[in-house]
Every structure is written in structure tokens, then in C-alpha cells.
Amino acid sequence: MSIAAKANALWEYANPRKFLATSERVMPFFWVTSITCIVVGLVWGFFFTPDDFRQGSTVKIIYLHVPAALMAINCWLMMLATSLVWLVRRHHVSALAARAAAPVGVVMTLIALITGAIWGQPMWGTWWEWDPRLTSFLILFLFYLGYIALWEAIEDSDTAADLTSVLCLVGSVFALLSRYAVNFWNQGLHQGASVMRAAAVTGADTEEKVSNVYFFPLLVCIIGFVFLFIALVLYRTGTEIRARRIKALLARERVSG
Amino acid sequence: MIALLLRDLKLALRAGGGFGLGLAFFLIVTVLVPFSVGPQSSLLSTIAPGVLWLGALLACLLSLDRLLALDWEDGSLDLLATAPLPLETVVTVKALAHWLTTGLPLVLAAPFLGVLLNLPVPGFLWLVVSLLLGTPAMSVIGTFGAALTVGLKRGGLLLSLLVLPLYVPTLIFGAEVARRGATGMETQTPLLMLAGITAATVALLPFASAAVLRINLR
Amino acid sequence: MTLTVTDLAIARGGVPVLEGLSFALQPGKALILRGPNGIGKTTLLRTLAGLQRPLAGRIEGAEDQIAYASHSDGLKPTLTVIENLSFWASVFGTRDIQPALDAFALNELSDRHAGNLSAGQKRRLGLARMLVTERPIWMLDEPTVSLDKNAVQMFADAVRAHLGQGGSALIATHIDLGLNGEVLDVGPNKAKPKPIDDFDGGFL
């Protein structure tokens, strides 16, 4: 089996039937793994790790905040990839996967924002701080909203897929630009916030003992969220495919009837 | 190409063309600001650069849904698409016409409105410079948004939702230039960033706009 | 320039409407499109004009040869007749708009705003716009809507003159224009529903 043949085999999932059959087979595995990982990670993180000497028990929101934030960004990257596949190879499943992923991404972004605010309240003394990272997520949230709204607004499926794909490409460039702009913009105002944030959020604490204690349950949570994301997207893509098939059947009936 | 530009300018200036609406909106927003934040001149002069930038941006946004929609409704876009003119040129010319009839007047009006908000003296030059550099990007990005939503009923609100996040980098760097200029700080870095974003946007985004318009026309 | 269409299939909104269309349009000839409402005549004209991509089949000799007139004329109500015409003339690189004004008797209306014209006068202006493109193949979608008997005659004369100069025309219309052209009934080409199993078209 050469690599080329394997790559070809991948494209077979562009067939909706094949995609549905396979995804239904593997989905239970993803559900079980993700729920197990999340439960284990959260219990471990909440009850079996010490409180941070500076942040107390509030640090433990990290087990929701960081995985959600990671998924929020990865979801957009996945939409970017599937949009490109749609534009280049015109596989409908790819476009529908992007459509299915967007609401998952927007919820992940929202979780990251809300947990960030809850975390920020005792730490920074305010529910909202225009911290560059939080601000970037707020902007990402707006991009998600626009993307979903455009999908909803257009009736013709292929046109919607084309337009949202281009929006996703252009949006990615502008989201990246915004990220740099926001960094630049807030640096001038208050630099202090970033030091604490970098230590707390990345898990790369300078004191390795502390870092490891939090890092492993966090890793388990992240793995759990990754599988949860995959399961949700597969499930929603299946729904989109069926909705699309119904639409196609109705259209066919109109033509023949 | 020039014919298209001239026609768009003529249409904007004739009755019902909507020229001046953006300006009037800009004026009203600026007048309303002191009512909402209070008349202290020190506060006003602090927020003046940002308020003027935001006002100009919203005024620009206001006129976007007419940018391509009228030509769509009366079939002009179909005909332009079959003409020897490439659609990339068409959208660029449309953006240029939009800038000349909306962006440029806003730039020229901004200093006068700056007086109302007690903008510090050194800020005037930087306000005009930053708007002059930023408004073309707003027109071009707006054209992209208008191309995305051109076939839709009630596309206006969606257009704002799509375009506003795309305006973030321009707004951040543009307002930063105006703000720094007003307080006498160096402006070179944000100015270069603003110029860079505008140049890249004007050079590249029309291709995306034309592609999107082609999709919408079929 | 002959327009040749081979085994063309077209879709509207992603749904196939016509298939297996083949015909040739010779210079000097007119082809009248017939078929019930909603069968895809407008879609066919738009596809030939290059505004839409066909699902399958070949179109030859259409590139930059087609002047397309849809239901809407691309006229601006706040511009005068002359301004409207000369705009489209310069977009298509034509200098002289006088022949177009003459052909549709628009001379005495030339300084009126297009918004002040009657429906029939507007339609004449829209057809005059076709003339200034100076392209050999006309694609007309229900050109005689809201034209009175006189104006229909005027239109038929313009088409005849165009054919006489070696041009050709594809006209979707329900009335008899008295042109020497064949009738193309697209009814039999109505797309049949696809069989269910089909790669990527697995949605259908």
C-alpha cells in the first residue's frame, strides 16, 4: 500500500454514504473516550491537586478554560482546512463539516470567554479585562457569529458553501491581523497583566513542581475535549448530511413532479 | 473603467444618490457623544480621536449596503459581468467610487468635528492622516462584505455583522495613530502598520470580492 | 461566428433543469426559444452568456460575443437616456450611440431621465443598450414584455437589421416576431431525476 493509495482512500470519505457509515462506527469510541477523559481529568484536577499558593483554588478553572480555548482555535483551523478542501475539490461533506463545526466552535469560544471572566474576577478584581488574549477570543467569537449567520442567510447550499468558504479564508487572515493588532494595542495601555497570564494559562510555570502537578490532569482534559470535539463534529456533520439529503430529495420531487 | 467611476460618482451626487447621508450621520454621532458622556472638555479631548474614528467607521458602514445592491437589483451587475471589463476591476472601481463619495468627505469633515470634541491641536494633523490612510481599506473591505451579501434580502444587518470584525485591525491601528498624535507621542509604528494593512487590503481583497461576486451572480 | 452548443446540461440553484441540449446558431439566423414557464429558459440564456457554469457539455463561440438582455435592463433612473446609453457604450468600447438611438426612436427622449420613461420606453432603451454593445450574438429574455404593437415592430426590425449584418439572436419569447428563424423547443430536454447511487451526488 503506497502513500498515494492511502491518500486516495481518504478521499473516499467524501462520499456521504461512506462517511456516514464509517462515522457511525467510530463515534461510540470517541464519545466514550472523551467522556472518560473529561471525567477523569476534572476529578483528578479538582480533588487531587493542591491549591496554587498564589491563586488558591481558582486556578482549577484552568481544566475547563484551556481545553475550551484550544478547541475554539482548532475548530476555526479545521473549518479553514475543510473550506479549502471544498473550494479545491468540491466535496460536499467537507463543506458540511465546516458548517457543522462552527456552532461547536462558537460554544467553545463562549466557554473560554466565560471561564476566563470567572477566573479573572478574583484574580484581576474585575469580570472583564481587555487583556489581549481575552480580546482576541472576543473577536474570534464575532467571526464565528458572522460565519454562522452567512450560512443561515443563503438558501442555495452550494452558493452558501462557496461564500462561507471564502469568508473563512479572508476571515482567517483578518483574525490573525487582529491578534497582532490587539497585542500591539494593549501593550501600550497595561503591560502587567500578561506576566501573570502567561504563567497561569500556558501551564508553563517557572517552578516545575507546580507545573507538573497541574499539567497532567490538564493534558487528560485536553485530550477529552479533542475527542469530544471530534465526536460532536462527526455527529453534527451526519445531521447536516441527512438534512441535505432531504433537501435534495425534495428538490428532485419538485423537478419531477 | 473611467466611465464606470464617473457614472457611480454622478449617481451618488444626483438626487436620491445618498451622498451626504454618511456625513450627516458622522455629524450626529459626534454631536450626541457629549450628551452621553458629559461636557467636561478634558474628558472629551481624551476620547475625541477614538470617537471620531468610530464615527467615521460607522458612517462608512452605513453606506455599504447600497454599494452593490442597486446595481444588482437593476441587472447592471449581470451586464458588467458579461462586459470586457474584468470583475476585479469593477469591484475596485466601485470601492474607489465609494471612497470618493463617502470616505474622502468623512476625512475632510473630521477636523471640523474635532473642534466640537475639543481635540488637542497636534491631533488634527494625525487624525486626518490616519483617516486618509484608513478609509480606503474600509471601502475595500466594505466592498467585499457587500459582494458577499449582495443577493440577500435584508442583507444590511448581516453585512454589518460580517464587516465589523474585519474592520478591527484598521480601527486599532488608525485610532492608535490619532490617539498617539493627539497626546504628542510618536506615531510611526502604528502609522506604518495602518499603511501596510491598507496597501495589502487594496491590493489583494478585490480578488476575493470579485470571486464572491461571481459566485453570487451565477 | 457560429455559436455551437453540444450536449449541454444546466442547473438552477443546484438542481438540474435541462440536459442534452445541442444546437448551432449560424450568423444571420435567429433561434426562438420555446418551453413552459420555469423550464429553464432564463437559466439557459444566463449560462450561454457566461454568468453561470454549465453542469456538463460544451459551449463554443460564445466568449465575448454575447450581448445579454435580461428582464432587468441595468438602467439608472437618475441618469438621462443619453447618459445611460453612453455609459454602456464606453464599457463595451463603442463610440457611436446614434444608430441605437435611431433604431428605437429614442432621439426625442434623449435628455429625459430614465426614471421618467414609461415601461415601454424603458424597454426600448434597454434594447438600445444591446445595440451599443456591438456584439454579434444577442441573447434576449422575453424582450417584448410591456412593448406595444408599434414597439414590437420596431424591435423586430432591429433584430432583422442585426441579422442582415451577419449577427445572430437567441430569443426567449412567446409571441411571433415574424423573423426567419427556427424554433427551439426545450421541453423535451427537461432534466430527468438522477439515479440515487452516485459518488458525491450521493445527496440525490
- Check CB contact under 8 Å for B74 and C91: no
Q: Do C51 and B217 touch (CB under 8 A)?
A: yes
Confidence of residue C193 (pLDDT cuts 50, 70, 90): low
* pLDDT for A10: 65
pLDDT at position C15, please?
A: 74
**Chain C residues with CB inside 8 Å of A156's CB?**
13-14
Query: In C, which residues are within 8 Å of A256 by CB distance?
Result: 192-193
Give the per-residue pLDDT at B99. Answer: 93
Q: What is the pLDDT of residue B92?
A: 95
Continuous segment of H or E residues that includes residue C56: strand C56-60
What are the DSSP calls for A37-65, one per residue? HHHHHHHHHHHSSPPBTTTBGGGGGHHHH
Q: H-type helices in chain C, by residue range?
A: 41-48, 81-91, 98-103, 119-132, 149-164
Question: What pLDDT is stored for residue C40 in this prediction?
Answer: 82
Mean pLDDT, chain C, integer? 80
Q: According to the per-residue pLDDT averaged within each range, which of B169-178, B184-193, C99-108, C166-175 is highest?
A: B169-178
Distance between CA A155 and CA A157 in Å, rounded? 6
Span of A113-127, C133-147, C177-191 with lowest mean pLDDT: C177-191
Binding partners of B (≥3 Cβ pairs within 8 A)? A, C
Q: How far apart are CA A202 and CA A195, in angstroms?
A: 11
A-interface mutation test, from B194, B215, B216, most A Cβ less than 10 A away: B215
Give me the pLDDT at residue A257, please.
55
The domain spans of chain B are 22-217
Task: Give the cell for residue C111.
Answer: 435628455
* Cell 460580517 sits on residue: B162
The yes/no answer on whether domain A28-256 falls in CATH 2.60.40 is: no
pLDDT band at C5 (very low <50, low <70, confident <90, very high): confident
From the list A224, A226, A203, the residue with the least C-alpha distance to A49 is A203
CB pairs under 8 A between A and B: 76
Could you give the angle at the alpha carbon of B93 between the alpha carbons of C80 and B215, nearest 5°?
A: 100
In terms of Cβ atoms closer than 10 Å to its own Cβ (0-12, 13-18, 19+), residue B4 is buried
- Report the C-alpha gap between C88 and C90 in whole angstroms: 5
> Residue C16: closest CA among chain A residues belongs to which residue?
A255
Q: For the residues A13-28, what does the mean pLDDT come to?
A: 85
Q: Please tell me the predicted confidence (pLDDT) of residue A53.
A: 66
In this predicted structure, the answer to whether residue C196 has a pLDDT above a threshold of 70 is: no
Per-residue pLDDT, B52: 94
Question: What CA–CA distance (Å, rounded) separates B119 from B117?
Answer: 6
CA distance B93 to B17: 17
Contact list in A for residue C192 (CB cut-off 8 A) is: 256
CA distance A153 to B155: 8
Distance from C144 to chain B by nearest Cα, in Å?
A: 17
Asked whether B143 and B209 are in contact (CB, 8 A), the reply is: yes
B45, B118 contact by CB (below 8 A): yes
Determine the distance in angstroms separating the CA of B27 from the nearest CA of chain C, rounded to an integer.
27
For chain B, say whether A146 makes contact (Cβ under 8 Å). yes
Is B215's Cβ below 8 Å from some Cβ in A?
A: yes
Rg for chain B, CA atoms, rounded: 18
Q: What are phi and psi of C19, to 5 degrees?
A: -150, 160
- A neighbour chains, 3+ CB pairs within 8 Å: B, C
Domain extent listing, chain A: 28-256
Minimal-distance CA residue of chain A relative to B164:
A142
Q: Is B73 on the interface with C (CB under 8 A)?
A: yes
* Partner residue facing B166 (CB), from A145, A174, A188: A174
Mean pLDDT of C86-113: 83
Contact A199, A211 (CB under 8 A): no
Q: Note the pLDDT of residue A79.
A: 95
Q: Which residues of B touch A171 (CB under 8 A)?
A: 165-166
Residues (pLDDT < 70) of chain B are 15-17
pLDDT in tens, A185-224: 876 433 333 333 444 444 444 443 445 677 888 899 999 9
Nearest-Cα residue of chain B relative to residue A154: B152
Give me the residues of A, 124-183, that contact C with CB < 8 A: 155-158
* Cβ–Cβ below 8 Å for B74 and C76: yes
Hey, which chains touch C, using 3+ CB pairs under 8 Å? A, B
Predicted-complex ipTM score? 0.90
> What is the percent of chain A with per-residue pLDDT over 90, rounded to a whole number?
42
Cross-chain residue pair A248–C200, CB shorter than 8 Å: no
Nearest to B161 among A145, A166, A170 (CB): A145
Most confident of A86-100, C59-73, C122-136: A86-100
Cell 491537586 appears where?
A49
From B13, which residue of chain C is nearest by alpha-carbon distance? C78
pLDDT-based confidence at residue A111 (cuts at 50, 70, 90):
very high
Number of H helices, E strands in chain A: 8, 0
H-helix or E-strand spanning residue B129: helix B121-148
In this prediction the pTM is 0.88
Please answer yes or no on whether A174 and B155 come within 8 Å at the CB atom.
no
Q: Which of C15, C199, C202 faces A251 most closely, judged by CB atoms?
A: C15
Q: Is C194 on the interface with A (CB under 8 A)?
A: yes
Of residues C152 and C15, the one with the higher pLDDT is: C152
User: Given CB atoms, is B215 within the 8 Å cutoff of chain C?
Assistant: no
pLDDT at A136 over 50: yes
The alpha-carbon gap from A121 to the nearest alpha carbon of chain C, in Å, equals: 50
Of A8, A245, A255, which to mutate for an interface test with C (greatest number of C Cβ within 10 Å)? A255
Q: What's the pLDDT at B167? A: 94
- Residue C58, chain A, CB below 8 Å: the answer is no
Confidence check: pLDDT of A77 > 90: yes
Please indicate if any CB of chain C lies within 8 Å of the CB of B81. Answer: yes
At A221 the pLDDT is: 92
Provide the pLDDT for residue A4.
53
Distance of alpha carbon C91 from alpha carbon B4, whole angstroms:
7
- What is the pLDDT, as a whole number, of residue A209? 40
Mean pLDDT (whole number) for A109-122: 88
In terms of pLDDT, which residue wins out, A174 or C123? A174
In this complex, the residue of A16, A91, A156 whose CB is nearest that of residue C14 is: A156
Please give, rounded to a whole number of angstroms, the shortest distance from the CA of B181 to a CA of chain A: 14
pLDDT on residue A121: 80
Nearest 10 degrees: Cα torsion A189, A190, A191, A196: -150
For residues C192, C196, C200, C201, the Cα torsion angle rounded to the nearest 10 degrees is 20
- Measured CA to CA, the distance from residue B113 to residue C90 in angstroms comes to 40
Closest CA to A35 of A228, A236, A231: A228
Closest chain A CA to residue B166: A174
Q: Which residues of B touch A142 (CB under 8 A)?
A: 161, 164-165
Residue A238: all three cell numbers together: 451526519
